[in-house]
Amino acid sequence: MRLGVTAIAAAAFFVCACDSGNSTGLQVSDTYLTELAAWRTERIARLKGPTGYLNLVGLFLLRQDISTIGSSPDSDFVVPGHAAPTLGSFRKESKKVLMDVQDGVEVLHGETPVKSIAMDDDQSEHPVVLTYGSLAWTVIRRDDKLFVRVRDFDDPAIAAFKPIEYFPVNMEMRVSAVLDRFEEPKQMRVDTVITGLDYRPQSPGTLKFEIAGESFELEAYQSGERLFLIFGDSTSGRETYPAGRFLYASMPDDSGVTILDFNKAYNPPCAFNEFATCPVASPQNRLKTKITAGERFDPSMNFPATAH
């Protein structure tokens, strides 16, 4: 069944490529279209999956020593109404977070009911995930701040999610880039959609490339065995997400060259859900050109909050 879907999608992409008016005459191969279709299918599956961003229903900053969580409006952290009025409370002790579960409420760690548990955060080796019915929550650490992130695996946003719109496949937007390395990797400070919260990635250097004979460069960030880019362009806030889009690239080869395939540029999680902690494109990563490739943005795809 998957092969059939991919083949149909690839045929649709081929029509889009023909309609794009590519004046260079660059041809789009069936192999590339099949690869791109598979990438898009996997992208949607991740978004809709249990660790995706469509099921987020709460993001709560742990400001005080003790914070309560539940569906009651009196809770410090209010979650969807099908939860118990009080699920329990969080206690900050030094750099740790402990959860005490309300009497009579069954909260599970895996398949084991818990009454009190230390919640190792998502930057630790074994992050703790707790569940209650269709709800799950974790502690996440961002820029030395601690948050409780809540998911609802039955959230209506998952079923209501509309297909993502794309620019036509544009092979002019699949370019070679050279990594101009710093003498030593630098830690960067990048703003996020949450005021006062920074993203601090390591950058090995800048990627330099050309589009239509014009030179550009983007600050690149280390992400495991790949490079991660956050960029804006002249479509941002018009046809694409205002805060920018994301793109991954392979590490450069021995000659320092990698490929930037803007047909795989995609919207950050905050384009769909306000409970994400997305970094935004820095001023130096705002390209003064139109990147007419990859995902477009429709504001109606950003679902309103179902928790506070």
My answer on whether 60 and 137 are in the same domain is yes
The range of the structural domain enclosing residue 228 comes to 164-301
Predicted confidence at residue 3, as pLDDT, reads 31
My answer on whether 129 and 183 are in the same domain is no
- Whether 43 maps to a domain, the answer reads no
> Do β-strands 66-70 and 77-78 pair in parallel, antiparallel, or remain unpaired?
parallel
My answer on whether 262 and 209 are in the same domain is yes
- Whether 6 maps to a domain, the answer reads no
Considering only CA atoms, which of 134, 165, 103, 138 is closest in space to residue 306? 134
Predicted confidence at residue 143, as pLDDT, reads 86
pTM recorded for the entire structure: 0.86
- Whether 28 maps to a domain, the answer reads no
Predicted confidence at residue 25, as pLDDT, reads 52
Per the listing, tokens 């309560």 go with 68
Predicted confidence at residue 306, as pLDDT, reads 44
Alpha-carbon gap, residue 213 to 190, rounded angstroms: 29
Number of domains the chain contains: 2
- Whether 39 maps to a domain, the answer reads no
DSSP labels, the chain: -HHHHHHHHHHHHHHHHHHT--TT-----HHHHHHHHHHHHHHHHHHHSTTSSTTEEEEEE--SSEEEEESSTTSSEE--TTS-S--EEEEEETTEEEEEEPTT--EEETTEEESEEE---TTSSS---EEETTEEEEEEEETTEEEEEEEETT-HHHHHPPPPPBPPP-GGGEEEEEEEEEEEEEE--EEBSSTT-EE--EEEEEEEEEETTEEEEEEEEEETTEEEEEEB-TTBTTTB-TT-EEEEEEPP-TTSEEEEEGGG-B--GGGTBTT---B---GGGB-SS----SB---GGGSBPPS--
My answer on whether 194 and 280 are in the same domain is yes
- Whether 308 maps to a domain, the answer reads no
- Whether 32 maps to a domain, the answer reads no
Burial grade of 158 (CB within 10 A; 0-12, 13-18, 19 or more): middle
pLDDT values of the chain reduced to their tens digit, one per residue, 308 residues: 223 333 333 333 433 333 333 334 578 899 999 999 999 999 999 999 999 999 999 999 998 889 999 999 999 999 999 999 999 999 998 788 999 999 999 999 999 999 999 999 999 999 999 999 999 999 999 988 999 999 999 999 899 998 999 999 999 999 999 999 999 999 999 999 998 899 999 999 999 999 999 999 999 999 999 999 999 999 999 999 999 999 999 999 999 999 999 999 999 999 999 999 999 999 999 999 999 999 999 887 775 544 33
My answer on whether 195 and 229 are in the same domain is yes
